[in-house]
Amino acid sequence: MPRRKQESPKDPSAESPPVHRAGFCAIVGRPNVGKSTLLNLYVGAKVTIVSDKPQTTRRVVRGILTRPDAQIVFVDTPGIHRPIHPLGKFMVRSAADTLDDVDVVVFVVDGSKMPTREDEDIAEMLNDRVRVPVLLALNKVDLLKRDAIGEITQAFFDLVEHEDWMRISATKKDNTDKLLEMILTRLPEGPALFPEDEITDTPMQFLAAELVREQLLINTRQEIPHSIAVQVDEWEERSAQLTYVSATIWVEKDSQKAIVIGERGSMLKKVGQAARKEIEAWLGHQVYLELIVKVRQQWRRDDRMLRELGYE
Ligand SMILES: Nc1nc2c(ncn2[C@@H]2O[C@H](COP(=O)(O)OP(=O)(O)OP(=O)(O)O)[C@@H](O)[C@H]2O)c(=O)[nH]1
Ligand SMILES: [Mg+2]
């Protein structure tokens, strides 16, 4: 008589193999709400620059979080606003285009203030166009006044269709882990999309130019931050311990050039030193950073110049 095979003792992990998820998560919102801060927090490194000036991020930047159970490719996007020049149009278009190719969207808002016209525009776009889950992240909760919580939250709820929401602070790391789990559960099952040690697909040269621009944003005011572009012209690994980098800082007026250089070069020196340290940290060796300031009038409206700078 055939006998039933003896069953081996049950191995729980063999019964239900652990689920691995992988996918893309767009981070969208109006300028200055903390999108890039949130991405850097999740990735654990500065892969996208942050400043207190609106319209800091100009191009889409991907940052990758790899865990044993998942890989999330976060897509930081330029703040969506009503653009007034071709650079702004490029920025808004690249943010909007991101929505078509992701698995989940995090709509980041400044949850300490009532929605603005820009929030309304973005919400309308998300409601009309996005077919994947939208998560509402009410950021900057650390600035939220207690008596305004109800009114502000309700105003955002009325604005945008969302699957779930969370009140967070990207700088204080409040509830950001809870938001991360909400994102994770919305990703499809599948293997990792990028090598597990990769945290961004941004080329180092572009990152270096951005780190210089970040220092300029931090150290300048009014219209100057918006008038600055940084382009790496030369990148040479002179030895295993030293990389030579030369970059041009473009501004739109002679008066801006004078400010960026500073009195006897003081501003340029300060910016150069701070950016050099950050590039050195990325490369793990010494960097010689040379910065040159040049004027190109109205470069933000100059299609050829925008193409050259990679804003196309
Ligand atoms: N108080 C407070 N400030 C925050 C928080 N998150 C971000 N910020 C600050 O808000 C400012 C803008 O942050 P970013 O991350 O550059 O904002 P963004 O949305 O990427 O802005 P754009 O690139 O211009 O679209 C910075 O000064 C951040 O330090 C937060 O939770 N609380
Ligand atoms: Mg940003």
CATH at 208: 3.30.300.20
Please state, in angstroms and rounded to a whole number, the distance separating the CA atoms of residues 104 and 20. 16
**198 found inside a domain:** no
215 with 280, same domain? yes
Top mutation candidate among 28, 30, 35, 37 for ligand 1, by most atoms within 8 Å of CB: 37
Find out whether the beta carbon of 83 lies less than 6 Å from any atom of ligand 1: no
Residues 6+ apart with CB under 8 A from 110: 30, 32, 33, 34, 139, 140
**248 found inside a domain:** yes
**39 found inside a domain:** yes
Find out whether the beta carbon of 33 lies less than 6 Å from any atom of ligand 1: yes
213 with 264, same domain? yes
Is 256's pLDDT higher than 70? yes
pLDDT of residue 15: 64
Domain's final residue, options 185, 212, 232: 185
Find out whether the beta carbon of 34 lies less than 6 Å from any atom of ligand 1: yes
pTM of the prediction?
Answer: 0.94
pLDDT digit string (tens) for 194-222? 999 999 999 999 999 999 999 999 999 99
**Nearest residue CA, atom 7 of ligand 1?**
34
Distance from residue 75's CA to the centre of ligand 1 (Å): 16
pLDDT of residue 312: 84
Q: What CATH number is given to the structural domain containing 81?
A: 3.40.50.300
Please state, in angstroms and rounded to a whole number, the distance separating the CA atoms of residues 202 and 48. 9
Domain's final residue, options 152, 185, 218: 185
**208 found inside a domain:** yes
180 with 54, same domain? yes
pLDDT digit string (tens) for 154-198? 999 999 999 999 999 999 999 999 999 999 999 999 999 999 999
115 with 177, same domain? yes
pLDDT digit string (tens) for 75-108? 999 999 999 999 999 999 999 999 999 999 999 9
Q: Partners of 289 in the beta sheet?
A: 245
**192 found inside a domain:** no
Domain extent, residue 91, equals 21-185
* Greatest pairwise CA separation for the chain in angstroms: 98
pLDDT of residue 18: 87
